[in-house]
A = this chain, B = another copy of it.
Amino acid sequence: MKRMYVEDVKGFKEDEVLLKGWVHKITEFKDFGFVQLRDKTGIIQLVVCKDELKGLRLEMTIEAVGTKVENKKAIGGIEIKVKSIKILGKTYYDMLPIPVNEYKNSAHLETELDYRYISLRAPRVNAVFKVQEEITTAFRNYLKENHFSEIYTPKIIASGTEGGSELFTVNYFDHRAFLAQSPQFYKQMMVGAGFEKVFEIGHAYRAELHNTWRHLNEYVSLDAEMGFIKDENDIMDLEEGFINYLFSHLKKTCKKELEMYDVDLADEVKIPRIPLAEAHKILLDKYGKRSPVGNIDAEGEVLISKYVKETYDTDFVFLTEYPIAKRPMYTMPDGKGNTRSFDLIFKGLEITTGGQRINDYEMLRENIKKFGFNPDDYGFYLESFRYGMPPHGGFAIGLERITIKILNLQNVREASTFPRDMKRIEP
């Protein structure tokens, strides 16, 4: 007999089924018991006789053969009258360190992360990663439909000249190397190398000394880079298109999971584009909030999101026209003292930095100098601009960040299978 998934039981023609999964819950009565069997696709109730019940413990893996019986009180209206149960994976514990079958996890997040191989089993936690997988699927499908190629670029790099956050060092044979904080240089070079439009879904590393709800030191970055653009608006159009595609995709593929988190995604997302200076003015006039020069802080992100929610009924806002000094040296200036770059804020959290990049060799070389750096330090990256680089730009989305904002979670660690931060490197 072939193993069947729980979600397929109801529609199955035969009465007898073979199921495999974990013992989710046990309820004992005088002569028999209920065992909830949980597999990858759902939970179903088994009716088990006293004898078979004896050896069972929560979270064991079992296989059960039985016949379908209708029971309106059971989950899904169906239960399985079990003929035989076989234990496939034994348990060795006195007490489960955290409960799996509670609707809400009562454990502290740190405890959940300590026992990640158990907490991930809880349907509510598992659902986060189902949604996350569909976010990456939507990203990939959307970009492929738009002529993008998926690429894999190195994470071990020779120098850390992109600027910005701190880098982790790697002992690479005889010399010191670094972990890439983003595929920025490489995705640009791939555009120039004839791939034109590329994306990468891969790890990025930031040795930042921040241990907050929104920082991870290893995270998954959804990176896109696109050649032959007119300006940064093409990139914002691309990302806005993605957000709409994503929401529509999630509604189709994650109905159950979105309901679990009581999430109602918009049917259409139109994202206002507000120049940073204007945003500063709004924050000051409306909320008395002063912003740091050329940027917006965490409080500002929350307030500007409040503003666009009230004004445009949207959870998203592009902040544009960041000043030159506040952006990396490869950012395209707009000729008015600012850059052709943007951030995307989603429900009070920055999830994207993007923009148009400089594509002319001489201009890039001069800009590097203007920033006080030495062009020689940019070796092959700068060299690659000698050979006909098209106008281009791109963006990156932090996967854990967009996941928690979609599901209204509180901490990026909830959206990382095995998060890495300043204090955590296990499990």
Q: Which residues of A contact B (CB under 8 A)?
A: 3, 5, 20, 22-23, 38-40, 59-61, 63, 88-93, 96, 116-118, 120-121, 126, 129-130, 133, 136-137, 147, 149-158, 168-173, 175, 177, 179, 186, 189-190, 192-197, 202-203, 205, 207, 217-218, 220, 227-228, 359-362, 379-381, 383-391, 399, 417-420, 422, 425-427
Contact = CB atoms under 8 A, between A and B. Distances in A.
Contacts of A38: 194
* Chief secondary structure at chain A's binding surface: mixed
Contact of A425 (B156, B169, B389): B156
Nearest to A400: B152
The 5 closest A-B pairs by CB, nearest first: A380-B427, A120-B193, A117-B384, A61-B390, A121-B194
A43 B126 CA distance: 47
30 contacts: A3-B228, A60-B388, A88-B228, A89-B359, A90-B360, A90-B388, A92-B361, A92-B362, A93-B387, A117-B189, A120-B195, A121-B194, A126-B194, A129-B195, A130-B149, A136-B150, A152-B203, A153-B417, A153-B418, A154-B420, A155-B203, A168-B170, A169-B171, A170-B170, A170-B171, A172-B425, A175-B425, A203-B203, A379-B426, A384-B427
Contact of A426 (B40, B380, B427): B380
A220 B152 contact: yes
B59 A387 contact: yes
A404 to B, nearest CB: 15
B425 A177 contact: yes
Given A92-B361, A93-B387, 11 more contacts: A61-B228, A89-B359, A116-B189, A116-B193, A118-B387, A121-B194, A153-B417, A154-B418, A158-B426, A170-B170, A177-B425
A160 to B, nearest CB: 12
Nearest to A144: B137
B90 A361 contact: yes
Copies in the complex: 2
Contact of A207 (B147, B149, B173, B362): B173
B205 A156 contact: yes
Contacts of A205: 156
A89 B390 CA distance: 5
Contacts of A189: 116-117, 427
A155 B335 CA distance: 42
Contacts of A20: 228, 390
Contacts of A379: 426-427
Contacts of A179: 156, 170
A129 B40 CA distance: 34
Given A20-B228, A360-B89, A117 B193 contact: yes
A39 B196 contact: yes
Contact of A386 (B93, B177, B196): B93
A152 B417 contact: yes
Contacts of A59: 387-388
A92 B363 CA distance: 12
B156 A22 contact: no
B5 A121 contact: no
A418 B381 CA distance: 13
A360 to B, nearest CB: 6
A212 to B, nearest CB: 15
Nearest to A207: B173
B177 A172 contact: no
Given A22-B194, A116-B193, A418-B186, A171 B168 contact: yes
Nearest to A360: B90
Contacts of A186: 417-418
A208 to B, nearest CB: 10
Nearest to A40: B196
A123 B219 CA distance: 34
A149 B127 CA distance: 12
Nearest to A126: B194
B190 A120 contact: yes
Contacts of A195: 40, 120, 126, 129
